[in-house]
Chains A and B, each alone.
Chain A
Amino acid sequence: MPRPFRRPLRAALRPLKGRATQKDTSGGQGQKYPYPPLEHYVLTPDLKLNLQQLEEIFHRSGDVVKRDFCIGGRARAAIVYIDGLADKTLIEDTLLRTLQHVPSELAQALVDRSAPLDRLLEIIVPMADVDFVEKMADVVNHVLNGDAVLLFEGYRQAMATSTRSWEQRSISEPLTEGVVRGPREGFVENLRTNTALIRRRLKTPDLVVDNLLVGRYSQTNVSLVYLKSLVGPGLLEEIRRRLDRIDVDGILESAYIEEFIEDNPFSPFPQIDHTERPDKVAAALLEGRVALLIDNTPFVLLVPTLFVQFLQASEDYYERYWLASFLRVLRFVILNIALLLPSAYVAVSTYHQEMLPTNLVVRLAAQREGIPFPAVVEALLLELVFEILREAGVRLPRVVGQAVSIVGALVIGEAAVSAGLFSPAMVIVVALTGISSFALPKFSMAITIRLLRFIMLILAGVLGFYGIMLGLLAVLVHLNTLRSFGVPYLAPVAPYHRRDYKDVFVRAPRWDQELRPTQLGHRDPRRQAEGLQPVPPGADKGEKSGGGR
C-alpha cells in the first residue's frame, strides 16, 4: 500500500536538487586525494629522485621520517612515515629488523628483479595489511594516514604497510548521555575504534561500513554504517548524494556534516540526532536507520531522525517499561514547562489574573508590589541572568565553577529579591524552567527550546495567552513542514501511525514491540518472533496438557 505521506526522497528535497550535478568530475578526484593535487609527481625507479619528490611534497616537514636502508644487505630501499602517527616500535622492531636480515639470495632477487615485486615481498614482509601503490598521490595519502611506505630502488611500485597507531583517548563513559543501567562505553575520537564498538554489538556480515572522504584539507574519513538487509530503499543513495555535495576545506566535528545535509537549513530544530553511545547506534541500525561516523569526533549522526527521539533516552529501554513510560510522559511535561512556563506566568500575571484562584492572585500581586519592571521585562531580565550564569558555568574552569554558583545563588537569588528588583515567584518560575531545560535528554533540543522560550516570552508580553497560542501554533505548523530525509518530523503522531505509538508516549514492553517503526521505510517490518510474552510455568503446563489431549 502506498504511504500517503512519503513523498519520494528526491521530490522532498527540491532545493538541493541540481546542484550536485553541476560539480565537475575532477572535484571527486580532488576529494579522494590530498589537496593540493599531486598529479605531476610520479614514482620513478630512481629511489633518490622519489625521496626528493617526497621532500618537496612535504616541504621538509619535521615530522616526516625518511630512512634509507638495505634489504638483506643488498637491495636499497627507503621507508617513509610520519612520526606520531605510525607505530615506531612496530616499524623498528619488526619491519626493519626482518627486512635487514632477509637472506641474501632473496635480496639479490630483489635487486635482479627476477620476480614481480609483490611476489617477493609476500615472502619477506612480516605484515598482514599491505597495499601496493603506483601513484605518488597514493604514497602521500598512506603516509598522511599513519602508514609506513616502503620504496625500492629500481621499482615503480611502493608498498604501504598499515602501522597506524597514535595517542588516543581510551574508551570511557559518555559524558552527555549517562545511564544508571546500561553499557558504559562511549565512542572515542578514533573512527576505527568506533566502528569496532558497533561491530561488537552486531556480529553480522550484514553490517556494512562504507567509507568516504570529506574535506579538501582535512581529508576526514566518514563512514556510513548500516544493516544492508534493513535499510530502506533510496535512503543510502540520498545520504550519499548529500554527502557528495560537500566540498569544504575541513570537517572538524559531526556538526559540520549535520549542517550540510539537513533538510531545512533555516529551522531552529535539530533534524539529525547525534549520540555518543554505541548501544544507541546499534538500536538505531536495527530499526533500519543509517549511522554516520565521522573521524575525530565521538559524536555519531543518526538519520533519519524524528522529533520524538529527542524525548527518548537509551535508558528507557533498559529500565522497567512502567518507569520508562512514566518518564516519557514526564519529559513531555518538562518540554512544555521549559518552553511555556515563564510566558504563561507573564500572561497570567499581566492579562489573565482571573484564571488563578483568588488567594494565589493576592499573594502574587503582593509580591509584585514595588517591582520596578512590568512582568515581561522582569522575566526577560531574569532569563538573561540565568543564561549568563549557565554559560559561565559551562565555559569556566572547574575550580572557578563554585564561585559562579555562589554568586549566582546568593547575589542573584537572595540580594536581587530582597532589593526588590525581582519577585520571588519569578525567581521560582525561571529556576524551574531552567532545571526543566536541563532535564531534557538531548542538549540540542534543549537549546532550541531555550531560544523559542524568549520568543514565547515576548509574545506573551504583547498578546497574553493569545500570543502564546499563536506562537505554539506557529511552532506546530513549522514542525509539520519539517522532514528528515523524507520522513515527516512529527511521525508517528502526524502522520498518525497507530502501530508506532508503542514507542512514543509510552514504552511498550520488549515482547510487545514485535515490529519496527513503520516510518523509517526499512525493508523488513518484523523485529522479533510473535508471542514472546513470558508465561508463568503453571499456565504454560496447563496449556500443554490441554493441547496434549
Chain B
Amino acid sequence: MREEGRISGWQLCMLVMGFLIGTSTLIIPVGPARQDAWIAFLLAGGLGVGLAYLYTSLGKRFPGETPLEYSLRVLGRWGGTILNVLFIWYAFHLASLVLLNIAELYTMVVMITTPLIVFIGVMAGLAALAARAGLETIARLAELLTPFIVLTMLTLNILCLATPNLVRWENLLPIMAEGPIPVVRGMFDTLAFPFGETVFFLVLLPFVVDPGRTRRPFCLAVILVSLLLSSVLVRNITVLGAAESNRTIFPSLAAVRLINIGDVLQRMDSLIIFIWTFAGFLKLSIVYYIFVLGTAQLFKLKDVRPLTLPVWLLLTFFTPHVYENVQEMLVFAGRVWPFYFLPLYLFHPALLLLVAKIRGVKGRGA
C-alpha cells in the first residue's frame, strides 16, 4: 500500500525530536554512569548521529520505498519476510512500552486508584485516531507540539537554575572517578533507549518530499535532543544528586517539584506531566502509525485505515501484560532493552545495507 502523504524536512526533524524526547524524559535513566550520566548521554548522542547516518544511507539507497518493501528484494522473499515480521513486532512492542510508561506515570503519581487499563485504552484510542488521520496529520501535530515541549523543558531548566540554593554543581563531581568503563556502559544503554529507536523512521523516510535531503534534519534532531536531554540529566543530578535520581522512579518530576521562586512559581510538576503526556502521545502515535503501516505492507493491504481499530484493541489488551510493575519497567528499560533491541537498531539496517551493497540491489528510483 502507499501512504499518499508527504512530509517536509522540517517536519521530519520535528517528528524525530518529538519521538526521541517521547518517553525518554520520563524515565531518563542515570544508570551505571551515575553522576557522569550526562557524558554518557552526549556520547550516545554522538553515536546516535552515526545511526542516523546509517538509516539515511539506507533511505537514500532506496528512495520511495520502505524497508518492508526493499528487504524482500535485498534478502529474498523468505529472509525479507522474517525480518519484516521482526520489525513490526518490535514496533508493536515499543508501542505498548510507550503506552505503559505513560499509564504507569499516571497510576503512580496522578490518579492512584484508577485502573491502568483505562489510561491505556483511552490513549491508544486517540493514537488510533491520529494514525487513521494519516502521516501528514501526525507530522503537523509534531510541528505543533515539539516546539512547545522543547520550550517548556528549557524553561523548567532555567527555573531550576533560578531557584535559590537548588542547583548544587558539586553533585557532578567527581567526573569519571571510576574510569571510562561505567560511562561506556551507560552510553551503550542510552544508545538503545532513545537513539536506537529512531530505526523506525526508516519507514517514514520514503515519505519525505526530497528523499536526498533527509540526513540533515535527521542528524540535527538527534544532536538537539542529545543536548536537551543531557541538560535535563545535569539538572536532575545537580538538583537531586546521582544516588537520589537513581532511586527515584521519575527523577525529573522530583527535581521540578522543588522549583520555588518567591512562592509564586512553584508546583511545576503538573507542567512536566503535561509535556510528558504530549511527548508520549506523539511518540505513541508515530510508532502506532508505523506498526499499522508496516502490517499493511506485510500483508500487502491497500489501505491502513481498516487496521487502526483492531490494533487499538490488540494494543489495549496486550499492554498491561508487558510487565508486572514499575520496577520491572525500569530494569527492562535500563538492562534488558539495550540487548533485546540491539538486533533491530543496529544489525537489521546494517545487514540490509551490506547485503544490498554486496548483491548490488539498487532502489527502484521513486
Contact = CB atoms under 8 A, between A and B. Distances in A.
Interface of A: 2, 4-5, 7, 11, 351-352, 354-357, 463-467, 469-470, 473-474, 476-477, 480-481, 488, 490, 493-496
Contacts of A474: 126, 129
27 contacts: A2-B209, A4-B209, A5-B136, A7-B6, A11-B4, A351-B110, A351-B111, A463-B118, A465-B270, A466-B106, A466-B111, A466-B277, A467-B122, A470-B126, A473-B126, A473-B278, A476-B145, A477-B130, A477-B133, A488-B140, A490-B144, A494-B143, A495-B8, A495-B139, A495-B143, A496-B14, A496-B143
B118 A493 contact: no
Nearest to B276: A469
Nearest to B133: A481
A477 B278 CA distance: 12
A4 B114 contact: no
Nearest to B134: A481
Contact of A495 (B11, B134, B266, B273): B11
A305 B99 CA distance: 36
A488 B137 CA distance: 10
A477 B111 contact: no
Place the interface of chain B in its size category.
35 or more
A263 to B, nearest CB: 14
Contacts of B106: 466
B168 interface: no
Given A4-B8, A477-B137, A352 B110 contact: yes
The list of the 4 closest CB pairs from A to B, nearest first, reads A494-B140, A4-B8, A494-B143, A494-B144
A4 B122 contact: no
Given A470-B126, A477-B133, 12 more contacts: A4-B8, A4-B11, A4-B209, A5-B140, A351-B110, A355-B267, A466-B277, A477-B141, A490-B144, A495-B10, A495-B139, A495-B140
Interface in B77-118: 106, 110-111, 114, 118
Given A473-B126, A477-B126, A480-B137, A466 B8 contact: no
Contact of A355 (B134, B140, B270): B270
B318 interface: no
A490 B119 CA distance: 28
Nearest to B264: A357
Main secondary structure of the interface of B (DSSP, over half): helix
A355 B269 CA distance: 8
B282 to A, nearest CB: 9
A464 B273 CA distance: 13
Interface string B272-307: 011001100100000000000000000000000000
A4 B7 contact: yes
B123 interface: yes
Given A465-B270, A481-B133, A495-B8, A476 B141 contact: yes
A480 B141 contact: yes
A488 B134 CA distance: 14
A357 B267 CA distance: 8
Interface string B5-40: 011101100100000000000000000000000000
A466 B110 contact: yes
B128 to A, nearest CB: 10
Nearest to A348: B270
A477 B130 CA distance: 6
A356 B277 CA distance: 20
A354 B277 CA distance: 19
A222 B281 CA distance: 45
B111 A464 contact: yes
A478 to B, nearest CB: 8
Contacts of B277: 466, 469, 473
A306 B119 CA distance: 33
Interface string B329-362: 0000000000000000000000000000000000
Contact of A490 (B123, B140, B274): B140
A480 B209 contact: no
A469 B274 contact: yes
B270 A352 contact: yes
A477 to B, nearest CB: 5
Nearest to B118: A463
B122 to A, nearest CB: 6
A62 B145 CA distance: 65
Give the residue among A469, A474, A477 with the most B Cβ atoms within 10 A: A477
Interface in B147-205: none
Give the residue among A4, A351, A474 with the most B Cβ atoms within 10 A: A4
Contacts of B133: 477, 480-481
A165 to B, nearest CB: 51
B114 A463 contact: yes
B137 A481 contact: yes
Contact of A466 (B11, B119, B129): B119
A493 B146 CA distance: 12
A473 B4 CA distance: 23
Contacts of A357: 263, 266-267
A477 B119 CA distance: 18
B8 A5 contact: yes
Nearest to B131: A477
Contacts of B273: 465
A543 B136 CA distance: 50
Nearest to B122: A470
A2 to B, nearest CB: 7
Contact of A473 (B14, B267, B270, B281): B281
